[in-house]
Amino acid sequence: MNARKTSLYGMLLALAMVLSYVEAMIPINIGVPGVKLGLPNIVTVIGLYSIGALPTLVISFLRILLVSFMFGNTMTLAYSIAGFALSFGTMLLMRKAGDFHRTVVSVSGGVMHNVGQLLAAVALLHSQVLFYYLPVLMVAGVIAGALIGLVAGLITERIQLFLRNS
């Protein structure tokens, strides 16, 4: 790996971590725990469409580990890993399967992230009642995923030349 790629991956990881911190500072209280904008996923969507799946997977996984250790706890890590695994897998399959727009891929990722976190919560807390949150989490995933997809698309278009030369 050359120095240019290393520095690009480091910058993307740092950006994802900063976006995680900024997201933690934004109060969103709609009565359902865990609803967030998903700002760090801007980096994930940009990565899937620009630098490839493996580097994006590594960057996203490192971000989850580092942010969980710095600002969270083991429960945060468990929920984040579960949501990320389902979300990233879905986005990767959609990216490879067809001609889906970034926003559609991001919406799918947002919804599946919430489903993954809900499944982790049900497994860890042994409570089926949590499934009542599913409709709200689905709507939140669609809205957040659409916003993240649009922003990631705009950014990707503007930095595509830089990313291709890396």
Distance CA 92, CA 45 (A): 10
Per-residue pLDDT tens, the chain, 166 aa: give them. 688 889 999 999 999 999 999 998 888 777 777 788 899 999 999 999 989 999 999 999 999 999 999 988 899 899 999 999 999 999 999 998 988 899 999 999 999 999 999 999 999 999 999 999 999 999 999 999 999 999 999 998 888 777 666 5
Distance CA 153, CA 21 (A): 22
Alpha helices in 26-101 (DSSP H): 41-50, 53-71, 74-97
- The confidence score (pLDDT) of residue 40 equals 95
pTM over 0.75: yes
Q: Domains (ranges, CATH) in the chain?
A: 3-164 (1.10.1760.20)
What 3-state DSSP class applies to 119? helix
41-50 vs 3-25: helix crossing angle, rounded to 10: 150
Distance CA 126, CA 115 (A): 16
Q: Residues 4, 92, 84, 154: is their CA dihedral positive or negative?
A: positive
- The confidence score (pLDDT) of residue 1 equals 63
Q: Which two tokens stand for residue 67?
A: 């942010």
- The confidence score (pLDDT) of residue 17 equals 96
- The confidence score (pLDDT) of residue 121 equals 94
